[in-house]
A = this chain, B = another copy of it.
Amino acid sequence: MSAGTRAPIGATTPWHGGLTGTAGLWPLPGGVCAVEGVRAAGVPAGLKPSGAPDLALVDAGAVATAAGVQTRNAVRAAPVRLTERHLADGRARAILLNAGSANVCTGPEGLALAAQSAAEVAGHLGCAAGDVLVASTGVIGEPIPAVPLLAGIPRVVTALSPAGGSDAADAIRTTDTTVKEAAARVGDGQGSCVVGGLAKGSGMIAPGMATMLAVLTTDAVLEPADAGDLLAEAVEATFNRISVDGCMSTNDAVLLLATGTAAAPPSRAALADGLTAVCGALAEDIVRDGEGAHRLVRLAVRGALSDGEALAVARAVADSALVRTAVAGGDPNWGRVIGAVGAAPAVVDPEQVTIAFGDVVVCADGVAAAFDRAEAAAALAGPDVSLAVDLGLGEGAATLLTCDLTHDYVTINAEYTT
């Protein structure tokens, strides 16, 4: 199948969800606190050397249905292991998050501190320790200093507020330069509900599981199993479709609290759309704020033998340092793209490959297209770049968000211990 017989590529690159691309969805302010009854806070506890806020708490107000998707890394942080245990009954009320230390490779003491901090929060909120989830981000291998952490807990509980979503999102930033929040009301003929979220993530953003922390809240009525399924689907379509540096973290956690207080919730499909839209908006924020990133790359692969093969090709292109430095330089160097395509674990016929930057086709059926170099460079000049690859073989498709690899990435990661 030649590219000529298909719709033109490169013109638009759909991205899953997003707050403005989903029908029946109205963006809201407030992040996690957009959901009635949810309170949040972020305070400085002295865990970051800078003295910036570093301890966050999200409280659903009462025990809620809870679900989580956490890292697949074999090396898992203490909070990841504790949260897995506390999620076993599908119920939780609050989530304590900290930056400054990832609490991973910290031995039995690290796990004990995670458990103790959950128990402290529970004592203040009047719930069981098993109803408090924990998540940490920061340097691997350095313990969280117990004294400031435990001293910070009563203060973050006191600071809880229905207007505290941004404070919580701010406190968990590490190399993030932006505060990441999203929320929306989603509805259909059956009813409506609210989905809110916050996230952090900038480096160690990888395939396999986006490397970040996120908290999602909703007033939808959900059973634990259903909450888990819905969250897994939304994560797969969003946080698992981004890459900054191909590095998988030890602390990934996306946690959902569903309060069940919506008077007339919508259909499962509408809720799924809303959850995916909020996750998609947060995921896009993470890539846009990727370490050192100057350009967001919307990568669309189609024409593969299966969706899985399209995703494998997209990952190979997104993880190519040569492609990402070419984007940083604004260089429409499609040779590096086809080189990455050919190295992917997928069926590729080089003579069927078509590549476009924006709507400029630079390679058609495996050979250089007659394109205007200035036009192609212009397609790479802005902060939003679209890169489309058509393998010309089948109907498999995948989209992925990534960013360019710049001097600033090297500066951030070579000059600082993160």
Binding site for B on A (CB under 8 A): 72-76, 102, 104-107, 139-142, 203-204, 206, 208, 245-250, 319-322, 325-326, 328-329, 331, 333-336, 338-344, 347-350, 353, 363, 366-368, 405-407, 409-411, 413-418
Contact = CB atoms under 8 A, between A and B. Distances in A.
A319 to B, nearest CB: 7
A220 to B, nearest CB: 33
28 contacts: A72-B343, A73-B342, A74-B342, A75-B338, A75-B339, A75-B341, A75-B342, A105-B350, A105-B368, A106-B368, A107-B366, A139-B333, A139-B335, A140-B334, A140-B335, A141-B338, A142-B335, A208-B343, A246-B321, A248-B339, A250-B339, A325-B409, A328-B414, A333-B418, A406-B414, A407-B407, A407-B414, A409-B410
Contacts of A353: 75
A132 B304 CA distance: 37
Contacts of A339: 73, 75, 140, 204, 247-250
A105 B369 CA distance: 10
B363 A141 contact: yes
B414 A343 contact: no
Given A102-B335, A245-B322, A321-B405, 6 more contacts: A72-B343, A105-B366, A107-B366, A142-B335, A247-B339, A249-B339
Nearest to A245: B321
Nearest to A139: B335
Contact of A247 (B102, B208, B322, B349): B322
Copy tally for this chain in the complex stands at 2
Contacts of A102: 335
B413 A321 contact: yes
Contacts of A328: 410, 414
Given A246-B319, A339-B248, A367 B410 contact: no
Nearest to A75: B342
Contact of A105 (B140, B338, B410, B415): B338
A350 B74 contact: yes
A84 to B, nearest CB: 15
Contact of A329 (B245, B336, B367, B415): B415
Contacts of A409: 321, 325, 410
A368 B321 contact: no
B322 A203 contact: yes
A74 B344 CA distance: 8
B73 A329 contact: no
Contacts of A407: 407, 410-411, 414
B414 A331 contact: yes
B348 A413 contact: no
B329 A414 contact: yes
Contacts of A325: 409-410, 413-414
A343 B322 CA distance: 22
Contact of A413 (B104, B140, B326, B411): B326
Nearest to A207: B343
A195 to B, nearest CB: 30
A250 B367 CA distance: 14
